[in-house]
Amino acid sequence: MKKLLSVLCAGILGVSLTACDKKTENISVQVENNWPQKTITLIVPFGAGGDTDFHARNLANHLEKELGARIIVNNVSGANGNAGMKQVASAKPDGYTALFFHESMLTNKVVGLSNQAHEALDPVAATIVDDSYVIAVNAKSGLKNLNDLVDAAKKRPGELVYASSVGGYSYFLGRVLETQTGIDFNIVDAGGGSDRNAALLAGKIDTNVNPYGVMKSYFDSGDFLPLAVISDHRNKLFPNVPTAKEQGFDWTAQRYYFLSFPKGTDQKIIEKMEKAIQAVTEKEEFRKKTEEAYSVSPTFVGSKALIEHLNNTLKMFEDNKDLVNN
């Protein structure tokens, strides 16, 4: 837009480019001051009731107060999140349609579910850096720690059923553990987090990897046992669960949950939303609700650092495509 205005000013109106630049700056300021003036639609590319949906709705509720505008959350599920992402990527870049997703958009591209990832959007900021991933078993399994699970898998190669969403992050984590330990799981696609929980409870699968909060009610009831948190450090919200590293495995995981606009959104709108998201993540009420619901603490990551992280993570997935693609 700035280039177009410069051409018009210089070639048609006959005024200086400097004057036109100032006009462009004034327009950007007006965009920032005027936005938002109507309802913002926040697309969640999964069904209602999961962790992505919760984090998006919690964010939207607090963003409404920061921005002074209504935000509605619309669930558009399908193709491991790609259906919702495509809808936002093709939307008008006016600041009134946004996407709340995580790094599965990267693995979707690597495995061929999508031909685009974050580069087709304008990432704004992350609200969650989820390092609460745990590997769990049914409490009746007799397994007590990660070494027990690995030993059992070595004794029964290809038999222990590891549940995941094939091509998703849980699949990648299972393949990494296989590669590091020389074991061979029977990795199956068992759907989303709630579906995998039901399968583990029924004894149809042997182990499951999810954020702690997705399985929290089953841990609290004693039905599931967390063998390890896949992190560099114990989580303050469930400190009794040892890390994989403590048990001798160099196995870590984290996933960013973040908001993006369609590509081409005015930078002033991006900056205004980024500041609003930062303000929300610093609110005690937002932090408390997040921690109580999903045992993870909010973490703000701004646009520049987020894009750098996504670039690096996409390259890592591409370099390890054999561990991502089935």
Tell me the domain boundaries of the chain.
2-32, 35-129+255-324, 133-247
Would you tell me which CATH number, out of the four given (3.40.1390.30, 3.20.20.70, 3.30.230.10, 3.40.190.10), belongs to the domain 133-247? 3.40.190.10
8 A C-beta contact, residue 130 and residue 296: yes
pLDDT at 4: 39
pLDDT greater than 70 at residue 9:
no
Q: Which two tokens stand for residue 46?
A: 């999964």
pLDDT greater than 90 at residue 292:
yes
| Full 3-state SS string of 243-265 | ECHHHCCCCCCCEEEEEEEECCC
Entry pTM: 0.86
The reply to whether 35-129+255-324 and 133-247 are identical in fold is yes
8 A C-beta contact, residue 232 and residue 133: no
**Alpha carbons 236 and 299: distance in angstroms, whole number:** 15
User: Burial of 321 by CB count in 10 Å (0-12 exposed, 13-18 middle, 19+ buried)?
Assistant: exposed
Segment (H or E) for 43: strand 40-44
Question: Per CATH, is 35-129+255-324 categorized as 3.40.50.300?
Answer: no
pLDDT greater than 80 at residue 109:
yes
pLDDT greater than 70 at residue 28:
no
Residue 6: pLDDT band with limits 50, 70, 90 = very low
Residue 190: pLDDT band with limits 50, 70, 90 = confident
Segment (H or E) for 173: helix 169-181
CA dist list (Å): 218 to 169, 215, 228? 21, 5, 15
pLDDT at 205: 97
User: Burial of 200 by CB count in 10 Å (0-12 exposed, 13-18 middle, 19+ buried)?
Assistant: buried
What's the whole-number mean pLDDT along residues 72-101?
96
φ/ψ region of 118 (left if φ > 0, alpha if ψ in -120 to 50, else beta) reads: alpha
What's the whole-number mean pLDDT along residues 202-231?
96
Residue 158: pLDDT band with limits 50, 70, 90 = very high
pLDDT greater than 80 at residue 165:
no
8 A C-beta contact, residue 17 and residue 6: yes
Residue 286: pLDDT band with limits 50, 70, 90 = very high
β partners of residue 135: 209, 228
Mean pLDDT of the chain: 90
pLDDT greater than 60 at residue 8:
no
SS3 call for 300: strand
